[in-house]
Amino acid sequence: MKKFATIAVIALVGAIVLPSCKKDYVCTCNVGGTEVKYDIKNVKKSDAKAACTVYQVSGISCSLD
């Protein structure tokens, strides 16, 4: 019974922690002096950074908020 309780607690913690790793982010880009924001939803931070860099082309700088 103790082993089952331990496994149940680990599963519960995993179910709470893992989904919270995905969040919504905003990619803010400066396009010719104009600030443009793009929503990046329900992704890990590393994936949001990668998506934000896609918007960076010549003369456009972007940052993840």
Domain count, the chain: 1
Let me know if residue 16 belongs to a domain: no
pTM: 0.62
pLDDT one digit per residue (tens) for the chain, 65 residues: 555 444 544 554 455 545 558 999 999 999 888 999 999 999 999 999 999 988 788 888 999 98
Let me know if residue 2 belongs to a domain: no
Given this model, what pLDDT does residue 1 score?
Answer: 53
Let me know if residue 51 belongs to a domain: yes
Let me know if residue 58 belongs to a domain: yes
Let me know if residue 5 belongs to a domain: no
Q: What are phi and psi of 48, to 5 degrees?
A: -65, -40
Let me know if residue 8 belongs to a domain: no
Let me know if residue 49 belongs to a domain: yes
- Which residue range forms the structural domain that includes residue 65? 23-65
